[in-house]
């Protein structure tokens, strides 16, 4: 039986390397508290050791978050929530 998009888990990976952590990743770990329950129950949050994305600057600036396969640079709680909502609607 195929799962509907509304049942699909949204995987959030937060870079917790030193640069990302100091640039705001720490506050991103509480993101489910800023989401309505229907979305908060659909996300899984995981910390990742350094993703090596800030080296060279070609991916943007820290902190970095991946929501499923979408990379968010200069991640903030509102930016990550916007992407979670976008993916939940897909």
- Looking at residue 2, its pLDDT comes to 45
pLDDT in tens, 25-72: 999 999 989 999 989 999 999 999 999 998 877 888 999 999 999 999
Alpha carbon separation from 65 to 7, 23, 35, 76 (Å, rounded): 22, 12, 16, 9
**What whole-number distance in Å separates Cα of residue 13 and Cα of residue 64?**
9
Q: Which residue has the higher pLDDT, 7 or 90?
A: 90
Residue 7 has pLDDT above 90, yes or no: no
10-80 under CATH 3.40.30.10, yes or no: yes
- Looking at residue 70, its pLDDT comes to 97
**What whole-number distance in Å separates Cα of residue 90 and Cα of residue 88?**
6
Q: Which stretch of DSSP H or E encloses residue 11?
A: strand 10-15
**What whole-number distance in Å separates Cα of residue 85 and Cα of residue 87?**
5
pTM, full prediction: 0.87
């Amino acid at each position: 039986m195929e799962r509907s998009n509304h049942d699909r888990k949204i995987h959030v990976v937060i870079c917790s390397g030193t640069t990302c952590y100091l640039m705001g990743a720490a506050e991103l770990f509480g993101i489910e508290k800023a989401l309505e329950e229907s979305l908060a129950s659909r996300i899984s949050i995981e910390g990742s050791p350094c993703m090596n994305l800030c080296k060279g600057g070609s991916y943007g600036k820290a902190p970095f978050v991946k929501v499923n396969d979408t990379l968010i640079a200069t991640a903030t709680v509102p930016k990550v929530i916007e992407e979670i909502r976008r993916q939940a609607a897909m």
